[in-house]
Every structure is written in structure tokens, then in C-alpha cells.
Amino acid sequence: MVFYMDISISQHTQHAAWYHSNFLRVAQTQFQDFKKTYRKFYGRVENYKRFAVFKSNLVKINYHNSNPNSAWTMGVNKFSDLTDEEFVQTYTCLVNTNNLAIREQTRKRVSESFLEKIPNRVDWRQSGIITKVKHQGLCGSCWAFCATEQIESYAALANVSHAELSTEEIISCVPSIRNIAGGCIGGNDFMAYGYVKLFGISKSEQYPYTSAQNINITDSCRHSIKQPAVGVQGYERLESNDLNAVLNHVANVGPLGVSMGGLNFIRDYKSGVVKCNFDEKVMFNHAVQIVGYGTDSIDGDYWLIRNSWGGDWGEEGYFRLSRENICGLDDHYRKVCGMCGILYEVTYPVGLFKIN
């Protein structure tokens, strides 16, 4: 009996050693490809550290993808050499949804009857009002990208402008409000809309993006180069947690800017329909633009969402988020609904006009 146990233990040890050796070879090959693809250059010590992090992330990716019940796929991307802590520190947007006093008017709820004539699929990219996917770089500026993208889209819908507008002006020139720092530290769309209402917004070619080189360092406002091209009269906010209102608006009016949790959850996203984890409270730490919706034949209903992590992330810069209308609590113990709390804070600009 002891003889057979020794053989079993020996075989198990040999199998584990073979698996580790094989995984190590694959990981080394993928790490070299990763560095080449994303132009990563490290010193000797840093290379050793980043390879260790890369291997850990690769284990997580392989484990997730081995689950036959998963509706989405993880993959190696530009963030695969970062620990979770490093990623959160660099890309967390700290979207503040707790300043009710300075929000503008909330629209009424939409009844089920309004949804009878909406199409089964909507993609505003096909209407020519969605600019190219941008990359926020080493700056927690998703809030500014989301607001700028919304202004671009609604300016195009109103035939006011079809140009890319300056996210940098929003990041560097919008002042902090109460307990919200703004810039690369994080902010909210009402800060951006409030600024554009007062001062307008320049084109991106006039005021290009520069706050992406150093982690969460916001460049100073360059007043001398501002040339406002588009203005807004304000913005409106849909009723919180109203799935019907969001569907109706995306189908019949235009894209929507939304806040969401799950920033770290989607970092390894490659393709498919994402479902967030509601086991913990939702912390709003990202802002994105809903540009459509549809239904996957296998994974069900989804929102089509533009991210601000570049076109080489996810599905050409986009991801699909499940439309399952589940609810949970945020870190202020408020009821938030939609996957990742995406139905709680939903806004769009109004009264777009041309300047100069």
C-alpha cells in the first residue's frame, strides 16, 4: 500500500513540475509578445518584477476563460503588467454621484408603452455622430472623456459641429467643486457641463490632450490657446434606475453618459457580454458612454459601451455590458440598478450651439 502511495505522490509531483515548466515557457513567450505589442521597456530588475505580475494576471485570465459558463472572455492587454493596486491607483476615476444639490432637472419616468416601437438593436456609431475611441492614459479623467464625448455626439446630432473637442480643456481648466478635486483625480459630468455652459469648449486640434504622461498629474489650464467652438445650455438627468427611460432615450434620442462601478473588474476584458459582481457594494469609479444596445444570440441583452482606454482594448475600444436589471447598494447605501450600477447616474447635454 505504501509502495503505491509513493508512486502516486511521485507522479503528482512530476505532473506539477511539468505543468509549471510548460506554463512558464508559454508565459515567457506571451510576455515577450506583450512587451513588443505595447512597446514596454524595463530595466533588468523591473523586468523581473513585471514578469512576475504578468504571470499572476495570466493565471487569473486562464482560470476565468476555462469556465464554460462565462459569457465573456479575458485576455492579455496593455494593463497585464500591473497589479490590481497599481491599476486602481492609476485609472480610478472617483466619479462623485453624491452632489444632488447641484444637479439639474430630472426627467419623468418612461412607461412600458413607450417601448413598444423601439428597435431590437441600436448602434449610434452607424449614424456618424461618434468620434474615434480615445485613451485617457495615466490620468483618472474618464469623467471628462465621457462628458466631452457626449457634447461631441449631441453637437453632431444638432449639426452644430462634427469635430473632436478638447478633453484636455475640461481636465485642466474645470475648477474643483466642494469635495471634488477634478482633473486627473476624478470628477463628474455636471462639472464639465457647467464649465462649457459658461466658457464653451475648444476643438481638440486647438487644445490637444497632454495630461496622460505622468500618473494622475493634471496639466495647468492654458488660457492663451482656448478658442471655444461649441457651447451648451445645460444638461438633463434621467430618473435613477429607470431601465425603460434609458432604453427609450438611446433608441430615440441619442447616446448617454453613465457612471459605473467595476473598473477593476473589466480591466482584463477582451470580448463578450460582461456581468459584474454584486456581492459587494458598488463604488462608482468609472464613466463611459452608452452608444447602443442589442441582443447576443447566446449571452442575451447588452448595452454597447464606449470606453476611454484606447482602440486596442476590448472590442476595438468598446465593451458589451449585460442589460440584466439587477439592483444592489452603493457605498452610500443607495439603491443602484443595472449591471455595475449603470442605471443610477445617466445624463446628456442640451441646447448645443456653435461659437464663432
Catalytic residues: 142, 286, 307
- Amino acid in position 255: P
Is residue 188 within 8 Å of 224, Cβ to Cβ? Answer: no
Closest by alpha carbon to 88, among 262, 288, 204, 308?
262
Q: How many residues does the chain have?
A: 356
Distance CA 332, CA 336 (A): 10
Distance set, CA 299 to CA 136, 262, 274, 324 (Å) = 30, 19, 9, 11
First to last CA, the chain: 90
CA dihedral 323, 325, 329, 330 (to 10 degrees): 30
256 beta partners: 290
What one-character DSSP code corresponds to residue 183?
Answer: G
Closest by alpha carbon to 187, among 199, 200, 196, 178?
178
Distance CA 86, CA 212 (A): 16
188: cell is 463628474
Closest by alpha carbon to 169, among 130, 217, 227?
227
Distance CA 332, CA 97 (A): 10
In order, the DSSP letters of 253-291 are: T--EEEEES-TTTTTTEEEEEE----SS-B---EEEEEE
185: cell is 483625480
173: cell is 481648466
Closest by alpha carbon to 131, among 302, 293, 311?
311
Segment (H or E) for 178: none
Distance CA 93, CA 330 (A): 16
